[in-house]
Every structure is written in C-alpha cells, then in structure tokens.
Structure 1
Amino acid sequence: MRSALIGLATALLILPAAASMAQDFPFELGGEVIDFADTDALGLPVPEGIETITIFAPEAGARQFNHGVVLLPFKDKLYAQWQSSDKDEDAPETVVLYSSSTDGETWSEPQALTEPQENGYISSGGWWTDGETLVAYLNTWPADLEVRGGYVQYVTSEDGETWSEPQRVTMADGEPLDAIFEQDPRALPSGRIINSAHFQPGLIAAPIYTDDPLGVSGWVRGEMENLSSASADISRELEPSWFLRQDGAAVTIFRDQGSSFFRLASVSTDEGETWSKPVMTNMPDARTKQSAGNLPDGRVYIVGNPHANRARFPLAVMLSDDGYMFDYGYVLRTTEDMQPLRFEGKYKRPGYSYPKSVVWNDHLYAAYATNKEDAQLTRVPLSSLVRPAED
C-alpha cells in the first residue's frame, strides 16, 4: 500500500505546470521539491539556526497525553495552549493547559484553563487577541450528543493570568456557534478574521469569518460546497488552515479524510464570504492537521507532514513566493532526532502531530506534540527561510 501511494504521489508531482494550472488549481507543489526516496528528510535541507524547545514533558503517573499545541504572542510574551490527560486521548479527565514565555525558550509551569467534565471533555481551540485582550477558545465535546461533535466557548484575560468565566462564541444573529473551532484564526489586511469550524450535527467543515476585532461574536458561515463524503456525519474536508495568495485571494487548505494523502484546497476572492468547491492539490499530506500562513514579506508557508502515508514525520515547511507555486522547503524535525515514545495510551504513536504556527520576534515558530506526549516547538530565523542555492 505504501509503495502504491508513493507511486501516486510521484505521478502527481511530475504533472506539467501548464496542465495543473489549466485546471485552475489553487496552488501546486513543484515537481522536484520532495524526494520520496529519502524517507527521513524527503530530500529537504535543514535551515540554519533551527532550534527545538520543549514546552512541557510528562513524567510517570500523570499528564502523559498532550496534544493540540497552539501558540500566540500577547503583550511581549508567547503563549502556548494544549490539551492534556493522564494517559488516553480525549479522556474524561482532559483539561486545557497553558504556559507562557518571554523568550520562547523558558516556559512557565502549566496552568489549567478548564476542569475535567462530567459529560464529555474540552480540547484546545486556539487563541486570538485584539492587542489588549487575550482570547482562549475552548472546544467542548458533550458525551450525550447523538452524533459526535461539539461547540466552542471562550475565556478572556487582560494580563494572561486572570481569566473570565467561559462564554459561548456567537454567530452574527446572536445564536451560539454550534461547531468545533479550528485553531488557526488569522486576519486579512482589512481586519476581517477568517477561520473554519466543524459544524453540528457531526463535524462538517466550513469557512467562517467575522468583523469583530475580538473574534468572539459576529461569526458568519461562508458559502462553500463540500465534496461528497463516505460519512454523513464527517465532511471529507477537515482541520483547515489558510493563507493569503499574492493576488489577494484567501486559500484554505484541508486534511482529506477521504485518504487521498493530498491536501484539499478552496479559494475565496471576496474576503471569505464565498469559496470555491474544494479540489485535491498535488501537495502530499499524511492525512493530518497542518498550519499555513504568510511571512512578513508576503511569502506563503505550509507546515506539516508532506508525504503520502499516515506517518507523521518528518515535519517540514514548504514555501512559495506567490502562493501559487511551492517550489522550495526545509525539514524541521526528522526521525533521527525524535525521542522515543515513553508511555502507552489510546491513539498514541510516534510522530510530530498537529502543528500550528506563528511568526514572532523574527522567527517562524511551529508548535506540535511529539508522540502525543511532549508539547514542543521548533523555531527558525526568518533570515534562514530563503530559497536554497542551486548546486
């Protein structure tokens, strides 16, 4: 099966650029960027000045499962949020933890944003800020829903230490947002915030947007036709992220739950109100969460596991000057420097899972869970993310 997937990946990656662009692809991966024969690093170079830092490492007896690490700068500190449980993923004792750092290297003792739930659990929903207030989103998964899904709450803080009581995130009509919130809200140049959510009943992914600077109200579901899915309860598109293309179009990328092992993508040219029907790109993906965005100079990046099987390694960043052609990249973590999985637990396996990213203090930060037990980040100086010199 693995060899067949690699063959498919190779066939798609060598499609002539003219053929792919004729199909109006949202973007494409250059044909010689990834070397699938190099299973450790995919033929990608290591950027200069790269550092890997541990935010939290579990010890025997408690908090051995950690996942969904998300970063955001706020008032001269970098904040990390993730979900944590004693052993198993999505266990009843799951809580959302957070930690902060003034330099990205030394992190405070984790504190809990939530308590264990009697009916379900709460997972990390990411961050937002208007510069004065820090918002922590909390994805709530009730156990008694007929179809698995949930809704999003939020808490706020002015100092990153004292938090408000949880409230519901709301839509433009004032009704609660009955959806699991994706962890990648980002703002357009106009200030409009674009994100995605997985709506009830079930988990049906759709883009959303709001003009509320705090990102807690006024959300509108963008118009997008989902692809057909094998399940009526889960869309084929899952766990999105997005970037701004050079022409001003917003591009949302999705994990493909249909197991094509390539990223799906949809485009909006009206600031998130309407979106094209998702198409399969030629960007490989290990069927997992990823993170996209723009560097300060406008270039586009995608952090993830870009190969055509379910192994969540290596961790890499793919780069594009214009958001159309991704024709260079770097490896961030390989199997050579992966620590062993130390504790057993439900759904745990080796890998760099669910990266989320942010630019802070002239570095690109990618946060992730290694083996779903260590909350870690890898940071790279922006000055190192240049097009590698040709041999």
Structure 2
Amino acid sequence: MTRITKQHHIFWTVGLFILLQSCGCGKAGQADAPKEEDDRTIKIQVGTRDVETDQFTSKGTPVVPMWKAPMATVDIRNGAGFPILSDAEHDVVWQPSVREDGAYNHYACLIHHNGRFYAMWGNHEFGEDAPGQRVLYAHADEWGNWTDAEELFPAPGPVLPRSENGIHLKPDCWAIIDDVLYAITYVHGAGVYPIARAVSEEGTLGEPFLVQSLPNNGSLPVFMEGDDAPTAPSPIGERLYRWYRENDQISWWANASWGVQRTAVDGQSLIESFIYRAKDGGLVLMLRDWGHANNPVHTNRMYVSFNDGTGGWAAPYPTDIPDSPSRAQALTLEDGTVLLIGNQNVNRYDQALYLDRDPMTISISKDGYTFDRVYALRTGSPTGHRFSGIGGRNPGYAYSSSIVRDGWLYTMYSIGKEDMGITRVPLSALELE
C-alpha cells in the first residue's frame, strides 16, 4: 500500500446584557437567548407544511420552532452543559506524519460495506479548498484497525497555495449499487459537478466518470482528460444521480439543479444541504447559514424547508436549532427517531458567533420535527495544531459522517481540520426508549 507523504442608557443596557450573559444567568445556569419583544402567534407556510410560531429573529423573520432542548452553556470545551456520553469510544482514522502528507484534512465520509468500514476525506498540503485538493481514503475490517491512507481521487490540477484559485475536490458520499461501492466527489473551481469511481474490496479503483453532465463553463480534472474525455454521465452515473433520491439523500453541494434554494426567506446565504425523512414520512431539508470568521451577519441557526413529495423545495426558513455554525447531518432510525449530529453548541441566536466546533453533539427527535434532548458525543478538542501555517483550519470536531450498524452509532469527523477521527457509541446510551 502506498503511503501518502482553517450615549448612557444604551451603554448601561448593553453592559447589563453582557454581564448577564457572562454570569450564565438563566435556567440551570445557562445563558438565555435574547428574544424579540413580540407577542404574535402566526401561521406560516414552510414548503408544504403549515407551521405555527410565536418566535422571530432579531430582524423580525418568523422562526420555525424545532428546539425544546436546553441551550448550550458558555463552557463549550467541557460539553457545553450537555450530558457527555461516557460510553463513547474514540479512535484516529488517519493523521499526517509530515506536512507533505497534507496537513489539512476535512469533509468526512463513512460507510460500511461487506464487512468493512470505508472512510474518505479531502486533503491538501497548504489549506482548505486550495487548488489541487485531492481525496484520500482508508478502510478497517474491525474497530481501531485502519489502513494507511491512499489516494482515491488524485489532485485534479496544480497544487497551489490557498491564495490562488483553481480546480479542487470535495468528497460528497459513498453509494452502493448492485453490491458495488462507489465514491462520489464534487469538482469545484472548474464548474461544480459530481464525479465518481468504483472501489473494489481488493483495493482496485475503477475509472472516474461523470455523475452529471459537464457544466458549460466546466473543465475536467487532469486525470479525466484525454481523447475519450467524457462530457455526459455514463449509465452508472445516471443511476448514481437517481440513487440520492431513492435513498432520501441529497448532495452537500446541491443547488438549483436539485431544486434547492440557497437563499433563505430572510436573505441569508445557505450552504451544505442534507435531508432526512420524518416519522410521518415527510422529507425535511436542512442547511446552515454561511457563517465564517469574516461573516458578521450569520444567525447561528439551522434553516429548514419541508416537502411531502409533491414538488421542489421552497425557500428555507430559520429555525431555533442552534448552530456553531458547522455542517450537520441527520439519520432516521427504524422507529422514526431522528438523530441530528453536528455542533449545536450556541448559547444565543442572531449574534454572528463563530465558535469552536466543540462539543460535537447528538440531538434527538422522536418525530423529526422537535428536538428535545442533546448529548455531547465528543468534547475537549485540541486548541492547537501540530503543523503551522495551514490556511482555513479552526479547532473542534466537525463535518461528521455517521452510520448505524449492529446497535452502534459510528461517527467520523475531522479534528481541527488536521486529523481524521472516529467515535462509536451504543444506541442504548442515548436512552431512546
């Protein structure tokens, strides 16, 4: 195996508010989320679902109520006030030994197929989403026994510093069709579109192919160029595109071609979509506000739209589900319980907080519409990095990918966008019954 070598009254009012927040005043010592003075209760149409709400953002936009769990405390590096799952077991999937291995690692994707766990993630030497970002993968036949990393999709173009623009890759998901495992990755910086390849149990990789037609302004990765370079999806590519819908999935990078609106009703820019099926059979689409260190307008809320299967996705509304912000994911269990895995560690809304992604949380909903319990799956992340000078990294456990197998929840994630980790916890620890 080849080793691979981010004026007074106002002053008094603001001061009092800051004092109350810093002392953690509120129920159970938690900081209360500020609320708009508004005693209205209204009905809104959120996609295909009627919603009644008496909540509004600081700018007056109606909020879809979905959160009955406690808000986080400010002690986010010690579980943020949530119960810490002591039964959880943690392991490392892969970490770079030297900078040249790629000291930026992120975008976890996990699956189990024919007795083996497979993991893939994005990797770069200089930083997040820099030109030439490639995709690595590893596998494990048993817990705690991961192989070294190999290239799954090599660099699609020149490997350049993050200050440059250029083609790069971001993993999307694994898929299984006719007992064949496929890795699906999105091309960015040369149009935005998916490519895929088969991965055999012997470690042989199939030729990369298009899952959707090449965009008009798109160009192929260098490893797909040539006299027979594709411009349209192959039959298996078309089947993979249908696979998403047939399996209640959607791409993290879904856009208008998927019927997904990435501008919310309040004008916020949204990214990183995912869907799940609620207990009553309705589909729920969630996205996060495009918050980052230089964005002073994000709301620290997840956004939602509902679909009963009769059409596309209407513009999402803000919810009261807190968000650090970070990418999240939801799984629907056999009994209809929904597990939301992310970083719901915010103690107040509409403040453009940009928090370390710690803890990584599991929020639980019996019906898929109201989340009323939260656990800290992992907390106490490193505050520094082994390799310096890598762009786009930030502390925490984030961008998870989860599966359920044999009564366990397995969750893979990045650690400070430098290493790739994995945690497993028995479902019994979540007290779902």
Q: TM-score range with shorter-chain normalisation?
A: 0.7 to 0.9
Of Structure 1 and Structure 2, the greater helix share is in 2
1:341 aligns with 2:380: no
Q: Which residue of 1 aligns with 2:285?
A: 252
The whole-number CA distance in structure 2 between the counterparts of 1:160 and 1:222 is 38
Q: Which residue of 2 aligns with 1:276?
A: 314
Q: Which residue of 1 aligns with 2:71?
A: 34
Once the two structures are TM-superposed, the CA of residue 91 in structure 1 deviates from its matched residue by 3.1
Q: Which residue of 1 aligns with 2:272?
A: 239
Residue type of the alignment partner of 1:239: E
The whole-number CA distance in structure 1 between the counterparts of 2:273 and 2:282 is 16
Once the two structures are TM-superposed, the CA of residue 369 in structure 1 deviates from its matched residue by 0.7
Matches within 5 A, 1:1-391: 10-11=33-34, 22-23=52-53, 28-30=66-68, 32-39=69-76, 40-62=78-100, 63-118=102-157, 120-130=167-177, 132-142=179-189, 145=190, 149-159=191-201, 161-170=203-212, 191-196=246-251, 198=253, 205-206=255-256, 221-222=258-259, 226-227=263-264, 236-257=269-290, 259-270=298-309, 273-308=311-346, 309-311=353-355, 312-335=357-380, 337-338=381-382, 340-344=384-388, 345-386=390-431
The whole-number CA distance in structure 1 between the counterparts of 2:262 and 2:137 is 36
Any conservation in 1 of the 2:332–2:338 contact (CA below 8 Å)? yes
Residue segments in structure 2 that go unaligned for 5+ positions in a row: 1-13, 26-30, 44-50, 54-61, 159-166, 214-230, 235-241, 291-296, 347-352
The whole-number CA distance in structure 1 between the counterparts of 2:248 and 2:74 is 40
Residue type of the alignment partner of 1:266: S
Of Structure 1 and Structure 2, the greater strand share is in 1
Structure 1 residues 122 and 295: alpha-carbon distance in aligned structure 2, compared to 1, 3 A threshold: same
Once the two structures are TM-superposed, the CA of residue 194 in structure 1 deviates from its matched residue by 3.1
SS in 2 for 1:384: helix
Aligned-residue sequence identity (percent) comes to 25
CA offset digits 1:12-32 (Å, max 9, x no partner) = 69x99x8795139765111x5
Structure 1 residues 25 and 246: alpha-carbon distance in aligned structure 2, compared to 1, 3 A threshold: farther
Structure 1 residues 131 and 366: alpha-carbon distance in aligned structure 2, compared to 1, 3 A threshold: farther
Any conservation in 2 of the 1:284–1:306 contact (CA below 8 Å)? yes
Structure 1 residues 224 and 123: alpha-carbon distance in aligned structure 2, compared to 1, 3 A threshold: closer
Residue segments in structure 1 that go unaligned for 5+ positions in a row: 178-184, 200-204, 207-219
* Root mean square deviation, CA, Å: 3.5
The whole-number CA distance in structure 2 between the counterparts of 1:229 and 1:27 is 16
The whole-number CA distance in structure 1 between the counterparts of 2:243 and 2:52 is 30
Highest CA radius of gyration, 1 or 2?
A: 2
Any conservation in 1 of the 2:172–2:252 contact (CA below 8 Å)? no
Residue type of the alignment partner of 2:287: F
Structure 1 residues 19 and 330: alpha-carbon distance in aligned structure 2, compared to 1, 3 A threshold: farther
TM-score (norm 2): 0.71
TM-score (norm 1): 0.78
Residue type of the alignment partner of 1:58: P
Once the two structures are TM-superposed, the CA of residue 287 in structure 1 deviates from its matched residue by 2.1
